[in-house]
Amino acid sequence: MNNNKNYRHLFGPVPSRRLGISLGIDLVPLKTCSYNCIYCECGRTTLLTTERHEYVPIAEVKEELYSYLSGSPTLDFITFSGSGEPTLHSGTGEICRYIKSSFPGYRVALLTNGSLFYDKGVRDEVLDMDVIVPSLDSATEAGFMKIDRPCSSLNVDEIITGLVDLRKEFSGEIWLEIFVVPGINDTEEEISALSEAVQKIAPERVQLNTLDRPGVVGWIRAATDVEMEKFAAGLDYEGTEITGRPSSRSGIGSFSGDAMESIMQTVSRRPCTVEDLASVLELHPNEINKYIQLLIEEGKIRDKRGDRGIFFMSSEDN
């Protein structure tokens, strides 16, 4: 089912609606991040920090990459992502350069919350990436605090300045992601502030996203299609696109019917969290999340909030 069972730092390839066939690199422990976002599908942040360290050994990551990529797998991207904020790892740049020098045929992407780009050193480390996908959910301090719940040392103006500086220095593509949270960042004031920030950052794309499943907090809801269209119109930025629902993932080459079936069999026996499923099936939580979303959209499983988080079960269960 998963040809990466013996890898500690690689996962997938996962079926990504934005990046196609994507091999993930996870450089920090679950859930180490500079934000504690109310919508995060990885759950609550357990280590809220901006401290950069070699959280996992660089040598081990390189060994795994050599082992996997030497087989010349078909990939659209190798993606820094996973259980937290990848730029917190002090070796992100070194690992990217290793991929580019040893396996130059592959494109490399970085999924990041963008919180550390105020640091010139961090910006320098990511210059070899092909695509950087940072997030910016609010351009006001109030909205930033409500949605992203950041480490206390961070402020939104500094983060926006870091993204503007990144755009000046980075020759690859920037796809800026905005997560729409109705009632917080979709007011006229919020959209106006985001529009101004987006114009300054000048990304190739702005991708609007909203809730697929229950968030960390119970009250958050998904934006409707009408609300998403209104948000996009308010941004008034030519490169804006509303990220499509991932119902077409089953047609992506990295899609695993075996993984889907194993998830279904497991949740049919007992309700499970993403962490439960990852442990039982020896899959990375990011892989589990991709398949769960499709199963929910197909009406095969449902979710329910419990003491330990969000549980998934067969739709046939009472």
- Identify the pLDDT of residue 257: 66
CA-to-CA distance for 241 and 117, rounded, in angstroms? Answer: 24
Of 220, 246, 272, the last residue of a domain is 246
* pLDDT in the model for residue 255: 56
Mean pLDDT is highest, among 15-29, 179-193, 204-218, for 179-193
| Environment class of 244 (CB within 10 Å of its CB; exposed 0-12, middle 13-18, buried 19+) | exposed
Residue 165 has a pLDDT of 98
Kindly tell me the burial class for residue 308, based on how many C-beta atoms sit within 10 Å of its own C-beta (0-12, 13-18, 19 or more).
exposed
Count of domains for the chain: 2
State residue 181's pLDDT score: 95
**Residue 219: exposure state from Cβ atoms within 10 A (0-12, 13-18, ≥19):** exposed
pLDDT in the model for residue 4: 47
* Run of H or E including 269: helix 257-269
- Do 78 and 101 lie in a common domain? yes
pLDDT computed for residue 276 by the predictor: 80
Share of the chain above pLDDT 70, in %: 90
**Average pLDDT of the residues of the chain:** 88
Calculate what percentage of the chain has a pLDDT beyond 90.
Answer: 62
Q: Are residues 68 and 88 in the same domain?
A: yes
Together in a domain, 302 and 194: no
Phi-psi region of 58 (alpha: psi -120 to 50; beta: other; left: phi over 0): alpha
Domain boundary among 211, 246, 281: 246
How far apart are the C-alpha atoms of 184 and 54, rounded to whole Å? 35
pLDDT at 3: 47
Q: Are residues 200 and 304 in the same domain?
A: no
SS3 content of the chain, % helix, strand, coil (to 5): 35, 20, 45
Residue 251 within a domain? no
Beta-strand relationship, 77-80 and 47-48: unpaired
Show the tokens assigned to 190.
């919020």
Backbone angles phi, psi at 304, to 5 degrees: -150, 135
Once rounded to an integer, what is the mean pLDDT over residues 221-227?
Answer: 91
The range of the structural domain enclosing residue 139 comes to 10-246
Three state DSSP letters for 64-107:
HHHHHHCCCCCCCEEEECCCCCHHHECCHHHHHHHHHHHCCCCC
User: What span, in angstroms and rounded, lies between the C-alpha atoms of 191 and 139?
Assistant: 8
Do 156 and 273 lie in one domain? The reply is no
Q: Do 187 and 272 share a structural domain? A: no
Of 58-72, 83-97, 179-193, 272-286, the least confident: 272-286
Q: Is the pLDDT of residue 203 over 80?
A: yes
In this model, does residue 159 exceed pLDDT 70?
yes
* 216: confidence class by pLDDT, cuts 50, 70, 90: low
Q: What pLDDT score does 308 carry?
A: 66
Model's pTM, two decimal places?
A: 0.82
- State the average pLDDT over residues 52-81: 95
Calculate mean pLDDT across residues 6-35: 86
pLDDT in the model for residue 134: 98
Q: Please determine, for residue 314, whether its predicted confidence score (pLDDT) is greater than 50.
A: yes
What is the arithmetic mean of pLDDT over 7-16? Answer: 82
CATH number of residue 278's parent domain: 1.10.10.10
Neighbours of 119 (CB within 10 A): 16
Q: Please, are residues 18 and 133 in contact by the beta-carbon 8 Å criterion?
A: yes
Question: Are residues 156 and 194 in contact, defined by beta-carbon separation less than 8 angstroms?
Answer: no
> CATH number for the domain including 218?
3.20.20.70
